[in-house]
């Protein structure tokens, strides 16, 4: 079972602030890194799937970078808005029996204060 | 396209009983995974099914079992319920269990054990 860690555990920012948080994963036998957003009372939603070292993905004000050699990924939110309040999860696939099960970190809970 | 559908949404059981949860994946998705979410533990992988075969199983006791039908619908069963089984159970589907395939989650079944 992979060890996927996220920091910080929670974060409070003012509306308009930019913020970022970290996902750490084992750099050996790397397959991919997934990011999800989980809003309260909704289901987790996939944001990005990243596979290559140096990968950078962007979706609106949210972007992510990947460093597979050192085993970390950053998620950035530019100009945070109240609707960005959610728990952000990262996950890394682990190979077994012909499929790639996802091991999730415990998430970073972001609260954007209006 | 309809999303992942889980039934029931809420369930209350007592210790010692058994429960069956149902999941209908997105049309065309043949991989279904189950996760347990408890406070402080994050999403814990239970098992993944693909083409009616269990491909991976997480570190859960044998009381937790599942199956997948030929139409890709999946059920999860928990026997001899314990208080610690109280959790949100999420089902997720994807076209196949490849490492780059993001999970599409249902809204979950909230199970409470009295």
Closest residue in chain A to residue B101, using alpha carbons only: A49
Q: What's the rounded Cα separation, in Å, for the pair A11 and A7? A: 9
B40·A89 Cβ contact <8 A: no
- The alpha-carbon gap from B87 to the nearest alpha carbon of chain A, in Å, equals 14
Predicted confidence at residue A10, as pLDDT, reads 96
Verify whether the Cβ–Cβ distance A95 to B99 is below 8 Å.
Answer: yes
Whether A98 has its CB under 8 Å from any CB of chain B: the answer is yes
pLDDT, tens digit, 9 for 90 and up, residues A7-59: 999 999 999 999 999 999 988 888 899 999 999 999 999 999 999 989 999 99
- State residue B28's pLDDT score: 94
pLDDT at residue A99 in the model:
66
Query: What value, to the nearest 5°, has the Cα angle with vertex B63 and ends B32 and B82?
Result: 115
Cβ atoms B92, B79 nearer than 8 A: no
Please give the helix or strand (H or E) that residue A104 lies within, else none: strand A99-104
Nearest to A49 among B58, B100, B107 (CB): B100
Half-sphere exposure of A27 (CA within 13 A, CB side): 9
Q: Does B58 touch chain A (CB under 8 A)?
A: yes
């Amino acid at each position: 079972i992979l060890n996927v860690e996220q920091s910080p555990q929670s974060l409070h920012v003012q509306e308009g602030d930019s913020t970022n948080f970290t996902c750490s994963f084992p750099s050996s036998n790397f397959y991919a890194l997934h990011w999800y957003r989980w809003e309260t009372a909704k289901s987790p939603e996939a944001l990005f799937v990243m596979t290559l070292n140096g990968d950078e993905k962007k979706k609106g004000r949210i972007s992510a970078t990947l460093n597979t050699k050192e085993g970390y990924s950053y998620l950035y939110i530019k100009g945070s808005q109240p609707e960005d309040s959610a728990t952000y999860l990262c996950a890394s696939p682990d190979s077994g029996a012909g499929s790639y099960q996802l091991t999730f970190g415990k998430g970073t809970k972001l609260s954007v204060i209006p | 396209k309809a999303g992942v559908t889980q039934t029931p949404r809420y369930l209350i059981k007592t210790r010692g009983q058994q429960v069956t949860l149902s999941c209908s994946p997105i049309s065309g998705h043949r991989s279904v995974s189950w996760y347990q979410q408890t406070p402080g533990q994050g999403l814990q992988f239970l098992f993944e099914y693909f083409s009616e075969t269990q491909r991976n199983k997480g570190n859960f006791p044998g009381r937790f079992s599942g199956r997948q039908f030929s139409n890709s619908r999946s059920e999860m069963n928990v026997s001899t319920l314990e208080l610690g089984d109280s959790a949100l159970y999420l089902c997720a589907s994807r076209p196949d269990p490849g490492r780059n395939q993001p999970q599409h989650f249902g809204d979950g079944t909230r199970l409470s054990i009295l």
